[in-house]
Amino acid sequence: MSIDDNTRPLEPGITTDFSQRMNYGSYLALDELLSIQRPQSSPAHHDEMLFIIQHQTSELWIKLLLHELRSARDLLRADDIRTALKRIARVKHIQEVMTQQWSVLATLTPSEYSEFRDALASSSGFQSHQYRAVEFIFGNKNEKMLAVFDSDPASRQVLSDLLDEPSLYDELLRYLSRAGHAVPDSILNRDVSKAHTFTPELVPVFKRIYENAGENWEAYEACEEFVDLEDNFQFWRFRHLKTVGRTIGTKMGTGGSSGVEFLQRALSLTFFPELFAVRSEIGR
């Protein structure tokens, strides 16, 4: 058999006997992974598969996001800024993929979604503990959100732990302080279980970094990477908002939220406000 037959012959060295070897499917647990797409509509509606896979793949990407963000946070704590920024660079690529994914779900028309929406019952992306964990590790903490997971102790514990731990931004600011930047003590000693709020005294710290970038290159680069993280997260939020609006209009969300209006309010939330405020000060 040759290429002239429009086939590609197996090379002699390719393994074909997996009776005693791990193969691709077993390494990735594909039997299990590909069996957990379980439409709830009856009879199963064609487009429900898209809806399930979209959200399952998002959860997998979020799992990787958390893996990388936790590592970046630990590396900042250890003053390993270069490796931390490598982790953050990967996070940014994951964020871009997740944002692009919305275009697939946007092919679901209102009439198609309405055919199986009732099968979701009260389930909603609002109940994703991993998504909430990303918000917490970025610093947008809200203890009241834990009540959503009272019936899921393991997920609640993940969020409870993150609530009491310094955020990624907390660790950046502590790193900057150790590097000689005048981060206010009120920031360094703040209650990390609360959401970070805009602190005007922090803006001059970033202003000095930006206006003396050559002398503070690693800090300068870290600041810009954090701006990218927030920009990407807001792009994701906005694309989510537009996809939901395109699919259900102004109807209430399946989890009981106001839907598009609820998502719109999230766009006003910020993780690293001083990194954006400093832009109005540079060059004055």
Annotated binding residues for substrate, as ranges? 51-55, 113, 117, 254
Q: What angle do CA 16, 20, 25 make, to 5 degrees?
A: 65
- Between CA 126 and CA 193 the distance in angstroms is 21
Cis peptide before 204 (omega within 30 of 0): no
Q: If you count them, how many residues does the chain have?
A: 284
**Residues that constitute the known binding site:** 51-55, 113, 117, 240, 254
**Residues that constitute the known binding site for heme:** 240
Assess contact for 163 and 193: CB atoms under 8 A.
yes
Residue with tokens 């970046």: 72
Q: What is the DSSP secondary-structure string of 96-132?
A: HHHHHHHHHHTTS-HHHHHTTGGGGTT--GGG-HHHH
Check the CA dihedral 13-17-18-20 and report its sign: negative
- Between CA 102 and CA 243 the distance in angstroms is 7
